[in-house]
Amino acid sequence: MSSSTSPSQAPVGLISSAASERLLTDRREEKVKTPWGTAGVLVGRIGGRDAAVVLRYGPKLVTPSHKINHRANIWALRMLGVERVISQNAIGSVNPSIQPGDIVISHDVLDRTKSRSHSLFDEEECWVRVDMTEPFCHEVRLALLEATSSLPDHVIKRGVFACTEGPRFETPAEIRSLQRDGADIVGTPLVPEVVLAREAEMCFASIAPVINYGAGMAPAVLHVGPGSMNDNYYANGLHDRIEQALIAAVQLLPQARSCSCGKALRSGFHGTRPGWLTHCSLDDAPVETGAVQPVPAVTKS
Ligand SMILES: [Zn+2]
């Protein structure tokens, strides 16, 4: 696979905590060198289509959420020719009407992270300010909604995904704050994945199985052990059904994109284009340095 892959052959990207042999077949590992370091990517086939999978916590699940090299991961997928990314996020409920065992296909994001690198372009002579009116690609969301429609689980078709810094769980006061701000679910790795994918002009959407209640909504939030969030994910076949839905969603994605995600930089890029930024929408509409006009002074009436 390469960045010159034609749209109909572009591999589908998946960012997940795990990928079984049933989900990703014919797999091999590639080490992809990016401007932000080397990322390990599993390449193979999902549902009969080429796929590239990032295990965000590493193959041994020992990379905590605040230490993930998001920029290397996202750009590695881009370098492999990926145009569309599905993010699998096992998360907690903030909205009391959403219960463990439910599945949420989010439509919006609330960023409560603190110290992460939020841009691919923060060391360059440019300013990139992508539109986030629709943070998740509607085409990928539609595929996920259709793919989950036949599952026996309760699927919530819209939701606000709050992303916190971690690695600890939230406090009860923080959960109440998120509730007041309209969040439905909470997890730690979605931001800046969703932002960097937009900067890389890749489609991005999330499928989020709910595996615990937020702090204060239940006696305790446990990471491992009996009754923990991990137990909830693998009990009752939820993990297997999520993988089943991922395979179906990949198969449902149209061969070519008709959304606007692949043109995100055309309306958001200002300055000097970095050398590593190849095969993007700026090829079609070159951006001149200094293209942004100063805001006129406000005159008093
Ligand atoms: Zn899209």
- Say how many Å lie between the CA of residue 138 and the centre of ligand 1: 6
- Which candidate, 256, 274, 257, 110, places its Cα nearest to that of 194? 110
Q: What is the CATH classification number for the domain harbouring 126? A: 3.40.50.1580
- Say how many Å lie between the CA of residue 132 and the centre of ligand 1: 12
- Say how many Å lie between the CA of residue 108 and the centre of ligand 1: 14
The two three-digit tokens of residue 281, written as one number: 């929408």
Beta strands at 84-88 and 49-55: parallel, antiparallel or unpaired: unpaired
Which segments of 147-243 are extended strands (E)? 155-156, 160-164, 185-187, 203-213
Question: Which run of H or E residues covers position 26?
Answer: strand 25-34
Count of domains in the chain?
Answer: 1
Tell me whether residue 3 is in a domain: no
- Say how many Å lie between the CA of residue 46 and the centre of ligand 1: 19
- Say how many Å lie between the CA of residue 139 and the centre of ligand 1: 6
Tell me whether residue 300 is in a domain: no
- Say how many Å lie between the CA of residue 202 and the centre of ligand 1: 7
- Say how many Å lie between the CA of residue 176 and the centre of ligand 1: 33
Structure confidence at residue 24 (pLDDT): 97
- Say how many Å lie between the CA of residue 68 and the centre of ligand 1: 24
Cβ atoms of 103 and 210 within 8 Å: the answer is yes
- Say how many Å lie between the CA of residue 28 and the centre of ligand 1: 27
- Say how many Å lie between the CA of residue 277 and the centre of ligand 1: 19
The two three-digit tokens of residue 207, written as one number: 């499928």
Structure confidence at residue 2 (pLDDT): 44
Tell me the C-alpha distance between 116 and 249, whole Å.
30
Cβ atoms of 206 and 106 within 8 Å: the answer is yes
Q: Which residue has the tokens 């600890």?
A: 168
DSSP state of 298: P
- Say how many Å lie between the CA of residue 83 and the centre of ligand 1: 8
Tell me whether residue 280 is in a domain: no
The two three-digit tokens of residue 147, written as one number: 């793919």
Structure confidence at residue 4 (pLDDT): 44
Tell me whether residue 55 is in a domain: yes
- Say how many Å lie between the CA of residue 259 and the centre of ligand 1: 5
Structure confidence at residue 293 (pLDDT): 55
Residue 60's domain comprises 11-265
Structure confidence at residue 3 (pLDDT): 45
- Say how many Å lie between the CA of residue 84 and the centre of ligand 1: 7
What's the Cα-to-Cα distance from 205 to each of 88, 212, 214, 265, 275, rounded to whole Å? 9, 21, 22, 18, 28
Tell me whether residue 298 is in a domain: no
- Say how many Å lie between the CA of residue 203 and the centre of ligand 1: 4
Structure confidence at residue 231 (pLDDT): 75
Cβ atoms of 256 and 193 within 8 Å: the answer is no
Instruction: Count CA atoms within 13 Å of residue 56 on its CB side.
Output: 24
- Say how many Å lie between the CA of residue 86 and the centre of ligand 1: 11
- Say how many Å lie between the CA of residue 141 and the centre of ligand 1: 9
What's the Cα-to-Cα distance from 72 to each of 17, 31, 85, 86, 92, rounded to whole Å? 16, 11, 15, 17, 26
Structure confidence at residue 234 (pLDDT): 76
Tell me whether residue 287 is in a domain: no
Tell me whether residue 113 is in a domain: yes
- Say how many Å lie between the CA of residue 262 and the centre of ligand 1: 7
- Say how many Å lie between the CA of residue 229 and the centre of ligand 1: 31
- Say how many Å lie between the CA of residue 184 and the centre of ligand 1: 23
Tell me whether residue 243 is in a domain: yes
What is the residue-level pLDDT of the chain in tens, covering all 301 positions?
444 444 457 999 999 999 999 999 999 999 999 999 999 999 999 999 999 999 999 988 899 988 999 999 999 999 999 999 999 999 999 999 999 999 999 999 999 999 999 999 987 789 999 999 999 999 999 999 999 999 999 999 999 999 999 999 999 999 999 999 999 999 999 999 999 999 999 999 999 999 999 999 987 777 777 777 777 777 778 999 999 999 999 999 999 999 999 999 999 999 999 999 988 999 886 555 455 555 555 555 4
Tell me the C-alpha distance between 154 and 133, whole Å.
27
